[in-house]
Structure 1
Amino acid sequence: MTSFNHYAFGAIGDWLHRVVAGLAPAAPGYRRIAVAPQPPRRGLTSASARLDTPYGTAESGWVLEEGNLRLAVRVPVGVTADVVLPSEHTMSSATASTSSPSRSSPTRTRS
């Protein structure tokens, strides 16, 4: 029988959240969240992660299509996200939205 509570499994999960999906705390208690995905050069075309914080759910997800990175980020109301894109990818547009436990609404679009 394999133990899913072993350090090795936790280390892989942490790496997937913090490095591949790019979702990590930037301040104690997740009041500020760092989003800095690092897609591998080959083999993986998408990733996403979700994290329950004391303020609500934070999410980060990306898709690589034809060399372009599409990144979607959601943070709880009252939380700040610092988003850093990998240098070899370009960003064509971004939509920022706020969320509450009951609904989500777009607030700003930038090209």
Structure 2
Amino acid sequence: MSETTVTVESSSTGGSCCGSCGTGAGKAPATAAAERAVFQVKGMTCGHCVSSVTAELEKVAGVTEVAVDLATGQVTVDSTAPLADTDVAAAIDEAGYALIGRIGA
């Protein structure tokens, strides 16, 4: 039996699909990101690189979402609390790449 995971993003700020009833398919997940940080990573060149970096960053406590832009080398990380650059650097190093730094901090 196969399992399918679907991620749905909503632009609603009311926590619901229509904003009037407070329930429904658009309700924000309990693990909504409180923080967003963007990092520059050196050495990523392919889909395997993206998968490796994503998998390691998802292991960092509090991380809720990871998005990698291979063309720019930028990695966006959503988390429930601010992340220590040292934790992010360790995860990226474990994946086999180098953290250049945080963008916009």
- After TM superposition, the score normalised by the length of structure 2 is 0.30
- Higher strand content, 1 or 2: 1
Of Structure 1 and Structure 2, the greater helix share is in 2
Higher gyration radius (CA): 2
Higher relative contact order (Cα pairs below 8 Å, separated by 6+ residues): 2
What TM-score results when the alignment is normalised by the length of structure 1? Answer: 0.29
